[in-house]
Structure 1
């Protein structure tokens, strides 16, 4: 999980941010009704992309999570839909070390993600990064749980215990939360703003507008290379890959 200075903003629960450390507006409504899928990679392609993934991250869990967000990869042309799926998986590939990490690697930080400005922490629970998007902080677990109909505030380990829940938290962030940017990643792709804007939403504070010798710049370049790799596999033009 990235270490970003906490901005103490007094907001209601529905105004909290997702994976990042600062609460903010939730821009898109939850879409929790099952639906037919739009474009999605095949299970064989999933295995090709993540050959060394841990067994926890199942393809079936990903598909179940996508059914909770029917507009994901299902809003535009075949090219646009493929580009969104590629962008999502490219960022997940980076965040989770190619699906080889369920929980935050830095265990020394596991007890540092409680800020009760807007949401209390459950007794004995820790809110370190879990899942493909590394969901962190008590208020983020509360908001994700509210959107998904799950009590993640009192049971944060559910994100590391149930594959579909882990994937749902990643899609929830992608579809609904603007993070460091002006728009959620899904909306940025829908408006053809380019891959860089998805990075801004996920980790813009540390990776956008950085000099080439900065670690944040290098991290963003890794994400871009992931995206280009996946678009090649899907035989689709990458479109705008300008860095944020």
Structure 2
């Protein structure tokens, strides 16, 4: 029997201070306001499964009964943000006419890019909603910065829509681990697709080779139908069959879904990342959550051709992109980067 999950809808600011008392283990969503046992009110800054508002301060922020926050500063006299300046949790700055509050100490990261370190702030004292759509640790602005020349097929909304298929992805472990996993996935995806440019495999001469007739189900969509598609370049009839079965999609008979539906494409990439070991000894997801390092994700994706000195140039390409993305997200890349 599955556990009962209590869902709380966001309350309007005019709720006349009749917000319900916070309950441990209740699912809360960004914007929910609760009354804590100390008589004070807190607003959820991020979705959370009932974390204590006085302990999990990244998820909760003190607020007034009407949701307006604390006492506003005199005439909104906060100083302008300065790149490279050290800021500490609670510092408030003005940036491009808007205000931001430091949620974590940082050495002057851009408030509109490093959204884990900065939270939009209402100059009148209230907080903003920094959580990207779908609760993903990579914001749309960061995604756009990672893939400035991407194919329009690879939408951010398609990616966030696909997250529900594997809710543990980039959502397990510490905040650092979550961002490292997202960066690792997107770095490998970038390498596989030329920066999210290619939706389908470019060498059409390879297309007929991806049909393994030894499988009992054969290749019902045609011998040349199972070429590489999507962010991980899903290929071979048996992979389409396995991914389709896992996702509840008819990919064996209709592999074209992967190149026509952005959410389906992203789901196939997440399927491989979260469930397949490839030539490695663990899934890429387990490698990152278990802090085994980015190098193990390379091994699981293409280790038989690239690792152990097989193609150091390709490995370096993946590692460089991972380092770029972790820097953008404001986290260290960790160890064991190579395979």
TM class by shorter-chain length? 0.7 to 0.9
Q: Secondary structure at the match of 2:287?
A: helix
User: Are the counterparts in 2 of residues 141 and 156 from structure 1 also a CA contact under 8 Å?
Assistant: yes
Provide Cα deviations, 1:200-227, integer angstroms capped at 9, x if missing partner. Answer: 00000001001xxx5x210010000000
CA offset at residue 39 of structure 1? Answer: 4.4
Moved more, 126-135 or 113-122: 113-122
User: Are the counterparts in 2 of residues 39 and 82 from structure 1 also a CA contact under 8 Å?
Assistant: no
User: Are the counterparts in 2 of residues 38 and 72 from structure 1 also a CA contact under 8 Å?
Assistant: no
- Structure 2: gaps spanning 5 or more residues: 1-28, 30-46, 48-133
Provide Cα deviations, 1:75-119, integer angstroms capped at 9, x if missing partner. Answer: 110011110001000000000110000000101111111002224
Distance in 1, matches of 2:314 and 2:228, equals: 18
When Rg is computed on C-alpha atoms for both structures, the one with the higher figure is 2
Distance in 2, matches of 1:172 and 1:100, equals: 20
TM-score (norm 2): 0.59
> Where in structure 2 are the equivalents of 1:97-136 lying within 5 Å?
97-118=194-215, 119-124=217-222, 126-136=225-235
User: Are the counterparts in 2 of residues 130 and 159 from structure 1 also a CA contact under 8 Å?
Assistant: yes
Give the match for residue 14 of structure 1: none
> Where in structure 2 are the equivalents of 1:128-207 lying within 5 Å?
128-207=227-306
| Aligned residue among 72, 76, 84 for 2:181 | 84
Distance in 1, matches of 2:199 and 2:152, equals: 10
TM-score (norm 1): 0.81
Distance in 2, matches of 1:146 and 1:184, equals: 18
Provide Cα deviations, 1:132-179, integer angstroms capped at 9, x if missing partner. Answer: 000000000000000000010000110000000000000000000000
Give the match for residue 25 of structure 2: none
Give the match for residue 49 of structure 1: 146
Distance in 2, matches of 1:123 and 1:43, equals: 35
Distance in 2, matches of 1:149 and 1:76, equals: 28
| 1:75 counterpart = 2:140 | no
> Bigger relative contact order, structure 1 or 2, given CA contacts below 8 A and separation 6+?
1
CA offset at residue 42 of structure 1? Answer: 0.6
Give the match for residue 322 of structure 2: 227
How many residues are aligned here?
A: 206
Q: Which structure has more helix as a fraction of its residues?
A: 1
Moved more, 124-133 or 192-201: 124-133
User: Are the counterparts in 1 of residues 172 and 178 from structure 2 also a CA contact under 8 Å?
Assistant: yes
User: Are the counterparts in 1 of residues 221 and 255 from structure 2 also a CA contact under 8 Å?
Assistant: no
Provide Cα deviations, 1:40-76, integer angstroms capped at 9, x if missing partner. Answer: 2111111111111111000000000112111011111
User: Are the counterparts in 1 of residues 221 and 254 from structure 2 also a CA contact under 8 Å?
Assistant: no
CA offset at residue 242 of structure 1? Answer: 3.1
Give the match for residue 68 of structure 2: none
Distance in 1, matches of 2:145 and 2:337, equals: 26
